[in-house]
């Protein structure tokens, strides 16, 4: 299936490279209104057509899948422009529009829903673990998530979208776990050498059996590593009803620096879901 990417920052360029490496997707167009000329030149070097006309160029591109790597503020207009078209829109901004998906939790919805939300990079890192905690406990009451990301791995749009990042990730955590209270915090680290992307989860979960939880969390991590090989559970502890888990994500493929695990996990998840959509449509056409 032919794809287009909106946005030519680190996120968009890495997406274009992943799409061209996919067996069922290709990147036909990278479009943006605010990208630098050098960013669009890099996209062209990957074999993609480029445009500074943004969503206008995408609407006329005749593609099957659109990946929005722009901003939360711009995304609603992009969906409005594409809502009547027969395309899949994959939202990598924290706009909270569309169906919130994580490949290891509810990927099947990618086969039928046309507007997919990847929540946030933090959401993609913690939701698989929180799903494991929820499935092995009687109930979850409180969740706190603290993410740490290297300053060099985020661009201006991500910084501008920080409030949306926190709110959308909190909402996704509550929906998945059923917790009444969820708090998400984010640290942008200027440290050198740049730290790997990290997410720390603290939750009050009742009825936990430590051995069963450890097995479920490791199974979740193994599943995530099928598309994000640098995903690791670094620590897991249970003290009565208090569960603490730390995960890190290291970028291991493409042109990304190793510390850009935040980009790796959300882009890998987005392509994985789009590939599932493409394969389901192929089966439908054959049927």
Is residue 33 within 8 Å of residue 52, measured between CB atoms?
Answer: yes
CA atoms lying within 13 Å on the CB side of residue 156:
6
Helix ranges restricted to H, the chain = 10-21, 37-45, 55-59, 75-82, 103-106, 121-135, 156-160, 162-177, 210-224, 261-286
Q: Check 48, 121, 204, 285 and give the catalytic one.
A: 121
Active site residue 48: no
Residues 6+ apart with CB under 8 A from 27: 3, 4, 5, 15, 16, 19, 20, 46, 47, 48
**97's tokens:** 């529009």
**195's tokens:** 């730290």
Q: Which residues are catalytic?
A: 121
């Amino acid at each position: 299936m032919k794809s287009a990417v909106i946005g030519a920052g680190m996120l968009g360029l890495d997406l274009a490279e992943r799409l061209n490496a996919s067996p069922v997707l290709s990147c036909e167009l990278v479009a943006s209104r605010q990208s630098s000329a050098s960013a669009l030149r890099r996209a062209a070097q990957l074999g993609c057509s480029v445009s500074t006309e943004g969503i206008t160029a995408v609407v006329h591109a005749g593609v099957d899948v659109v990946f929005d790597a722009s901003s939360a503020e711009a995304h609603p207009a992009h969906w409005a422009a594409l809502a009547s078209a027969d395309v899949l829109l994959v939202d990598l901004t924290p706009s909270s529009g569309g169906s919130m998906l994580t490949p290891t939790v509810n990927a099947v919805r990618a086969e039928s829903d046309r507007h997919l939300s990847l929540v946030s990079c933090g959401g993609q890192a913690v939701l698989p673990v929180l799903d494991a905690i929820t499935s092995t406990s009687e109930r979850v009451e409180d969740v706190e998530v603290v993410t740490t990301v290297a300053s060099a791995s985020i661009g201006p749009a991500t910084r501008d979208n920080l409030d949306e990042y926190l709110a959308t990730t909190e909402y996704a955590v509550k929906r998945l776990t059923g917790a009444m209270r969820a708090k998400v915090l984010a640290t942008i680290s200027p440290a050198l050498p740049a730290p790997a992307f990290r997410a720390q989860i603290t939750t009050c979960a009742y009825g936990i059996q430590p051995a069963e939880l450890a097995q479920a969390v490791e199974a979740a991590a193994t599943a995530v590593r099928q598309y994000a090989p640098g995903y690791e559970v670094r620590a897991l502890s249970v003290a009565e009803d208090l569960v603490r888990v730390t995960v890190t994500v290291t970028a291991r493929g493409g042109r990304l620096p190793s510390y850009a695990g935040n980009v790796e996990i959300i882009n890998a998840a987005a392509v994985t879901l789009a590939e599932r959509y493409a394969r389901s449509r192929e089966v439908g056409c054959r049927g």
